[in-house]
Amino acid sequence: MSVAAVKPRRWTREEYDRLNEQGVFQEGERLELIEGEILEMTPQNARHAATVTLVYGALDDALLAGYFIRGQLPLALSEDSEPEPDIAVVAGSARDYLEAHPTTAALVVEVADSSLPFDRRRKLPLYARHRIPEFWLVNVESEQLEAYRKPMGEAFLEQEILTRGDRISSPILREPVAVADLLP
């Protein structure tokens, strides 16, 4: 007697968006499409939410003209991935994305507390694979900023760990930002 193989149903971004438009998901449900899987994200605690706000403010003050910040909004990376990073710095203006979500970003920032293993194991390779030039992981627990640059395959060629006394530069910033301004 043979047993049929069981495999998960993979979703496309188009199918995921259609399900969302049809009201299949509950209002306010935190979901992301990552590599064909619809994943339920953990609710944000106060520390996570406050840190996202701090990062947003620090980056907004230092961004070069021609870039803007999208906070916790979809990034249409591929046919099967539409993450909603805590911060995505994209080129142009909000009006450039009235018809479709951006497909790339100059910088993606994830704030990680309970999601740290997931962000390192799933999101970091995802952003590298889609050639996001710079990925910052704000490690709330250890109060550090992990900066990843130069994507290559599933990883980044450069990694830097920064703490409160450090400053971080980026090609999209007018001036370096104090890491302390990004941390809770």
Q: Would you kindly state where each structural domain of the chain is located, as residue ranges?
A: 42-181
Per-residue pLDDT, 28: 80
**pTM of the predicted model as reported, rounded to 2 decimal places:** 0.91
Cβ-count burial 6-15 (b if 16+ within 10 Å, e if not): eeeeebebeb
Per-residue pLDDT, 157: 98
Per-residue pLDDT, 126: 97
Per-residue pLDDT, 27: 83
Digits of tens for pLDDT over the chain (184 positions)? 566 678 888 999 999 989 988 989 888 888 999 999 998 988 889 999 999 999 999 999 999 999 999 999 999 999 999 999 999 999 999 999 999 999 999 999 999 988 899 999 999 999 999 999 999 999 999 999 999 999 999 999 999 999 999 999 999 999 999 999 999 9
Per-residue pLDDT, 1: 57
Per-residue pLDDT, 2: 62
Q: Note the CATH number of domain 42-181.
A: 3.90.1570.10
Rounded CA gap, 23 and 55, in Å?
32
What is the full DSSP assignment across the chain? Answer: -------PPP--HHHHHHHHHTT-SPTT--EEEETTEEEEPPPPPHHHHHHHHHHHHHHHHHBPTTEEEEES-----BTTBB---SEEEEES-GGGGSSS--S--SEEEEEESTTHHHIIIIIHHHHHHTT-SEEEEEETTTTEEEEEEEEETTEEEEEEEE-TT-EE--TTBSS-EEGGGT--
2 — phi, psi (to 5°)? -100, 150
Per-residue pLDDT, 43: 83
